Every structure is written in structure tokens, then in C-alpha cells.
Structure 1
């Protein structure tokens, strides 16, 4: 179970890092070409989401890997779940139901990590 939680958290962190880096590094005009919601959002908001996603990537892996405040891993996973709820609402508003489904899957993966690290496979054992 511990290995499965590490793998899932690592994959979720990689996805969050990629998504966050895209939002932070690409010009907003490039993002506007590929997604509707960024055109209706301010540059600061899009960049802030990107920074939050990068921080989530760090929070899902580094605290446990460095053995510094490993309790931050399930807390970060719970915060990621909130971010995915916001993503589902936003994508549903624009009719992007495939993205809503993707956010739902990512929410479920984060729920698995949060559940696993809060109780059965806690790092504090």
C-alpha cells in the first residue's frame, strides 16, 4: 500500500508540475488559444493557479521524501481536491465535460492519497 501511495502521489505531482509550469511559463495569449476559460480570466489569476499547482507538486512529494513535516502530504492532497472541485465547476461552465471527468479522476486520486496518508499508511509509524 505504501508503494502504491508513493507512485500515485508521484504521478499526481508530475501532472501538477507540468500543468502549473504551463500556466506560469507560457504567455497568456498562447494559453487563450488552447482553452476558453483563460481568455475570460486575468493573467494574474492564471499565473496564481499555476503557482498553486507547482506548490502542490512539491507538497505531494518533498515533505515525505525529505522527512520534514510528512503530515503535509495528505493536507496537500486535500487541498488538491479543492482545486479539482474548482476545476470541475469552471470546465462545466464552459461545457468541457471531458475536462470535468479528468478533474473528477484527479480528485479521486488525491482522495486516495489523502485517505491513505491520513490513516492506514501514515508516515508517522
Structure 2
């Protein structure tokens, strides 16, 4: 189970460091082609989402790796689940239900990371 956690957490961390980093630093115009929803969300909120994604990625890896407050990995995974719930809500409210596939996959993966973390922490 520990190996499964590290694989899932590692993949999520890479994804969220990339996506969160883009949201945290790029302009609305640079984000728009890949993330059409940024046109209706205030940029401070987009930046906050990016920062939370980066913190979630760090929280998946650093606490279990150091053995300090390893329970934070569960909290980080649950936080990433909640981010995806919000993403699904935004897409559905904009009539973009066909775009929620990635959100659902990330939600399931983050939920799996939370479950895997509880099995060995």
C-alpha cells in the first residue's frame, strides 16, 4: 500500500505543481486557452486556487517523506478532492458538463491518495 500511495501521490503532486504554478503566476490571457473558466473568475481567486494546489502537492509528499505530521497528507488529499468538487461545479454551472472528465479523474485519484495514506500512516 505504501508503494501505491507514493505512485498516486507523486503523479498528483506533479500535476498540481504544474497546474497550480500556472494559475499562480500566469496572466488571464495566457491561462484562457487552456482554462476557459478564468474569464468569469476574479484573478485573485484564480491565484488562490493555484496556491492551494501547490500547497496540496507539497502536503502529499513532504509530511510522509519527513515523518513529521504525516496526517497532513490525508488533509492535503481531501483538500484536492474539494478543489475538484469546485471545478466540477464551475464547469457544470457554465454548461460545460462535457469537460468534467479530468476533474472526475483527479477527484477519484485524490480520494484514492487520501484512502491509501490512511492505510499506512
Contact 2:4 2:116 in 1 (8 A): no
Q: Secondary structure at the match of 1:88?
A: helix
Q: How does 1:1-125 map to 2 (within 5 A)?
A: 1-118=1-118, 120-122=119-121
My pick for the range that moved more, 23-32 or 44-53, is 23-32
CA deviations over 1:75-106 (Å, ceiling 9, x no partner): 11111111110011111222333431111111
User: Any idea what SS the aligned residue of 2:95 has?
Assistant: coil
Q: Deviations over 1:19-48 (max 9, x none)?
A: 001111211122134433101111101111
Classify the secondary structure of the residue corresponding to 2:44. helix
Question: TM-score under structure 2 normalisation?
Answer: 0.92
Deviation at 1:121, TM superposition (A): 2.0
The Cα of 1:58 is off from its aligned counterpart by: 0.5
Equivalenced residues, count: 121
